[in-house]
Amino acid sequence: MIHLSFEVWTQPTEPFVKTFAVGSFEPITIEITSQQYRHYTCGGGSGGSEDEDPSFDVTLKESSGDPATLTRTMAAYSGSVNLGGSDCTPPWEIDSIGMYNEGRTSYVERYTADGTVGEWELGILPRYAEEFEYTITIGDSG
């Protein structure tokens, strides 16, 4: 007898919300990073498709409720690749599968907005991301 238990994960429908204060008229920079890991799969499969790349719906509002104009200033992909196939590939099959095995990919988006003094509300609704990190920078980050 085998007992199986599955949890079906669904995409969130409400954004994560973070409030923060700004004490000067300086730009606000929002950076969001998501890391995806290829799950251990013996038997092939790419582990995803282009339609499942992470993305974010980002909103920024002043305390008055007026939305700020966010400008996406950067998007970047990065990853880690190991050589020699996966751990479950027999040595004689490496040539047929390929030399490179991508284990982790990261996706980063950066946004800027003109900041004013007051309370702000950042909303982040992730798509195809099980976790993400955010950074809020007030003032010139360069």
> Which tens digits make up the pLDDT trace of 40-57?
444 444 444 445 788 999
Whether residue 3 lies inside any domain: the answer is no
Q: Residue 94 is inside which H or E element, if any?
A: helix 94-97
Whether residue 10 lies inside any domain: the answer is no
Q: What is the pLDDT of residue 78?
A: 92
Q: What is the pLDDT of residue 15?
A: 96
Strands (E), 1-142: 16-22, 27-37, 55-62, 71-83, 100-114, 118-127, 133-138
Whether residue 84 lies inside any domain: the answer is no
> Whole-model pTM above 0.95?
no
pLDDT digits 0-9 by tens, 72-121 = 999 999 998 877 655 555 565 656 556 777 778 899 999 999 988 999 99
Whether residue 99 lies inside any domain: the answer is no
Whether residue 102 lies inside any domain: the answer is no
Whether residue 89 lies inside any domain: the answer is no
Whether residue 63 lies inside any domain: the answer is yes
Q: What is the pLDDT of residue 96?
A: 58
- In angstroms, the CA 34 to CA 126 distance is 9
* Interacting residues of 135 by C-beta distance below 8 A, sequence separation 6+: 29, 30, 31
Structural domain span for residue 55: 16-75+108-138
Number of domains in the chain: 1
- In angstroms, the CA 93 to CA 116 distance is 60
Domain containing residue 20: CATH number: 2.60.120.380
Residue 132 has pLDDT above 60, yes or no: yes
Whether residue 114 lies inside any domain: the answer is yes
Place of tokens 């008229």: 25
